[in-house]
Every structure is written in structure tokens, then in C-alpha cells.
Amino acid sequence: MSAQRHVISALVQNEPGVLARVAGMFASRGFNIDSLVVGRTENPEFSRMTIVVNGDDSVLDQVRKQLAKIVEVVKVVDYVGVDFVERDLMMARVTAAPGSRREIVELAEMFRANIVDVGHGELMVKITGTEAKLEAFVELLQPYGIIELARTGVIAMPRGEKTPGITPVNHTRRATTRGTVEENTTPTTIDPADLPPG
């Protein structure tokens, strides 16, 4: 089975060392992370990780199971088959000779990017969008000379309406009265209200 791009959202407890444990889990099992972004949610007790990985269904099933075993991970959702919105932010410093400056500005306008800094012989451009959009923009900037480039990585959220017929495995962990953690891996129809906040 061919590799497929997966965007995974994990709701985690906002505690020191959680990111290191998640990254260590991927590294110890040979899973390659294309992008990993961590940010606060509206609840200060939780953070949201958005992880982009490539692999077949068996690999991704292992990723979900291993994530769910980490004590601080509360919920894991794979967005495969779900209608969702994703965004990546990129800033790039580009060489802008007097004859090419106007061309770079016009290219930025075509991609709905913004010029955020102007220097002697260079421009700094900011753009948001999908990974594919940013990669296409970078390819067109290459001939001008990219001095420096930085990207935040992908963040994603499901669209507001339910998507019928989607039954991904929803890993949920909850504390019991004895202080242990129970894990539920029963396939459920995805509901945006059940996804991690953020």
C-alpha cells in the first residue's frame, strides 16, 4: 500500500517534557515527522499538537496507538477522510535587485503574500496557506535567490459540519476513580465537538 499523508491532532496535558516524550516515541520507532507544531488551546491545562506524517495504514495505526499510550496524551484524532482546514506560515528573505523587485512584489500579490520588510537589495515576504501553496511559491522564488527561509509547520482544524460515513479510530484516555487510565479505541463517527480544542 502506498504512503499517504496524514495530519494527526493530539490533545495533551500542558506539562513540561510532553513534547520530548512524543518526539522520542517517533524517533525510537523510526517514524519520520514531516511537521510537528505545538500550541496552547483556550484551556490553559491543555496544548494541541498537530503532527504531519507519511505512511501506510499499518504505520499510521502504530503511530496512533503509541501516541495514545503516552500518559499525558488525552485524545488522538487522524484527519484522514475528514474535511478540514490547514495552514502553514512561512517567511522568506529574498534577493531583490532593482530590476527584479517589482516582479517579486507582483508574485507575492498573486499568492496573496505580504511584503513585511524591505532592505537594501532584499525583501522579506510572509505567506500563509497549504503546504502545496507554500512549496509552489518557494519554487517560483528560487530564481531570485532565497537568502533565508522559515516555516511554522502545519496547523489544522476540522470544518464545522459533520462528515457522514467517516469512522476513524478515536483514542480517548480518561482517569478512573483508582487513578489509573482507561483507553477507548472504539471506531466512532467523527464529530467536530469531539475533536481537540484549539
Tens of pLDDT, residues 59-73: 788 888 888 888 889
Residues 10 and 74 in one domain: yes
Give the strand order in the sheet containing 171-175: 33-40, 46-55, 4-13, 73-78, 171-175, 181-184
Tens of pLDDT, residues 155-172: 999 888 654 554 444 444
Residues 121 and 179 in one domain: no
Residues 55 and 151 in one domain: no
Quote the CA–CA distance of 148 and 93 in Å, as a whole number. Answer: 5
Of the pLDDT bands very low, low, confident and very high (cuts 50, 70, 90), residue 2 is low
Residues present in the chain in total: 198
Going by C-alpha positions, the residue among 20, 72, 70 that lies closest to residue 46 is 72
Predicted pLDDT of residue 28: 83
Instruction: Give the count of domains, the chain.
Output: 2
Residues 71 and 113 in one domain: no
Quote the CA–CA distance of 88 and 79 in Å, as a whole number. Answer: 16
Query: With pLDDT > 70 as the criterion, what percentage of the chain qualifies?
Result: 80
Quote the CA–CA distance of 123 and 90 in Å, as a whole number. Answer: 14
CATH number for the domain harbouring residue 189: 3.30.70.260
Residues 12 and 100 in one domain: no
Residues 28 and 69 in one domain: yes
Judged against a pLDDT cut of 60, whether residue 85 lies above it is answered with yes
Residues 94 and 28 in one domain: no
Residues 96 and 144 in one domain: yes
Predicted pLDDT of residue 68: 85
Query: Mean pLDDT across the chain, nearest whole number?
Result: 82
Residues 57 and 118 in one domain: no
Tens of pLDDT, residues 108-147: 999 999 999 999 999 999 999 999 999 999 999 999 999 9
Predicted pLDDT of residue 63: 83
CATH number for the domain harbouring residue 142: 3.30.70.1150
> Which residue segment(s) compose the domain that 97 sits in?
86-155
Predicted pLDDT of residue 45: 92
Residues 189 and 166 in one domain: yes
Residues 170 and 147 in one domain: no
Predicted pLDDT of residue 198: 42
Annotate the chain with three-state secondary structure: CCCEEEEEEEEEECCCCHHHHHHHHHHHCCCCEEEEEEEECCCCCEEEEEEEEEECHHHHHHHHHHHHHCCCEEEEEECCCCCEEEEEEEEEEEECCCCCHHHHHHHHHHCCCEEEEEECCEEEEEEEECHHHHHHHHHHHHHHCEEEEEECCCEEEECCCCCCCCCCECEEEEECCCCCEEEECCECCCCHHHCCCC
Of the pLDDT bands very low, low, confident and very high (cuts 50, 70, 90), residue 29 is confident
Residues 15 and 72 in one domain: yes
Of the pLDDT bands very low, low, confident and very high (cuts 50, 70, 90), residue 154 is very high
